[in-house]
Amino acid sequence: MPELRKTPLHAFNVENGARMVDFAGWSMPVQYESIIDEHKATRSSAGLFDVSHMGEASIEGPDAEAFLDSVLTNDVSGIEIGQAMYSLICYEHGGVVDDLLVYRIAKEEFLLCLNASNTQKDIAWLNANKDAFDVGISDVSDSFALLALQGPETREILKDLTAMNLDDLGYYRFQGSDVAGVSCLVCRTGYTGELGVELFVAPTDADSLARSILGAGQPYSVKLAGLGARDSLRLEAGYALYGHEISETISPVQANLMWTVKLKKASDFVGKAAIRKEKETGPKRRIVFFKTGGRRIVRAGASVLVEGEEVGSVVSGAFSPILNEAIGSALVSSNADDSKLSVDIRGNELALIPTKPPFIELKP
């Protein structure tokens, strides 16, 4: 087995008691002290996450915008310099290559933030589809560490560390600025549903930045938060995770992500025909989020039943510390009766309560 990759914050994480796990070929902190405490701290104060495993690609050239509009489902021509956008990349058949954030750095330059497990595949896919365009694609993953500070106290924690006025930075806007003496791309984006920022920073600066933020956050009880809390936070917020709610075989129509697919944009894009057709004829299956009314976590992979007949399977399951109950999502047949969904947990039948996400009020 190849050695796990380490983020620039590895020593910092270990020193702070992180339990490290293998995630997409990286040694990543799954938790520091308690996933539930880290989750609650992020909702009530702030959580600091090392998400340096995320991949980055730079797209540059006269045709950068046109190229991205030909491979991304969302309308890249609609964002200005300093603005970010969530989008999918789809296959010709409508399945999802990856979901990503695209940041417009300049008129002809974009930065993509990609899932760690998909980065190499994504870059190969982009290269395979760029023939008609005057554009350069480079994997710049090793040029960045990524820290996320998420939670209602984010601005208070950062205000003495930067000259930048964070109140003026709108949602899904970003700006280059020094934070704690370190040059960062400060982005008001995140994966928790809370007010927060993501900070792209040079790998050599990441350790000092993390220590400064943790120090500035002490009066606010900021907590280091790992991938465990990141997953339960995103699920409460109703955000899709690649490999769960979206995948090569789960399309945006099925995942209820058509808000990210602009069928009417000027540019044609990979997957458009298949997605349009599936939208018109109706998907054969769809993602349903659910509550359980109880504390038993329904794990991914569990069969979903209607009166004993299998109609699908659970794709995400977690304990919601805010609702104090287990929540999740499942991929189920479109003609299944939602009011009768259940799962079998170790011999006990448990009714699922279909719920329109988010499970909590989003305050990003």
Could you list the residues that contact other proteins (CB under 8 A)?
30-31, 34-37, 228, 232, 294-297, 299, 318-319, 326, 346
Name the token pair of 48.
Answer: 């600091």
Q: How far apart, in whole angstroms, are the C-alpha atoms of residue 35 and residue 15?
A: 18
Phi, psi of 124 (to 5 degrees): -60, -40
Shortest Å, Cβ 16 to other proteins = 17
- Side chain identity, residue 119: T
CB-wise, 195 or 360, nearer to other proteins? 360
CB-wise, 255 or 350, nearer to other proteins? 350
With a CB cutoff of 8 Å and minimum separation 6, the contacts of 73 are: 87, 88, 89, 90, 252, 260, 261, 262, 269, 271, 272, 275
Q: How far apart, in whole angstroms, are the C-alpha atoms of residue 113 and residue 77?
A: 18
Shortest Å, Cβ 231 to other proteins = 9
Shortest Å, Cβ 299 to other proteins = 7
Shortest Å, Cβ 221 to other proteins = 18
Shortest Å, Cβ 64 to other proteins = 42
Q: Closest by alpha carbon to 86, among 261, 287, 263, 269?
A: 261
- Side chain identity, residue 351: A
- Torsion over CA: 356, 358, 359, 363 (sign): negative
CB-wise, 15 or 92, nearer to other proteins? 15
CB-wise, 270 or 298, nearer to other proteins? 298
CB-wise, 197 or 350, nearer to other proteins? 350
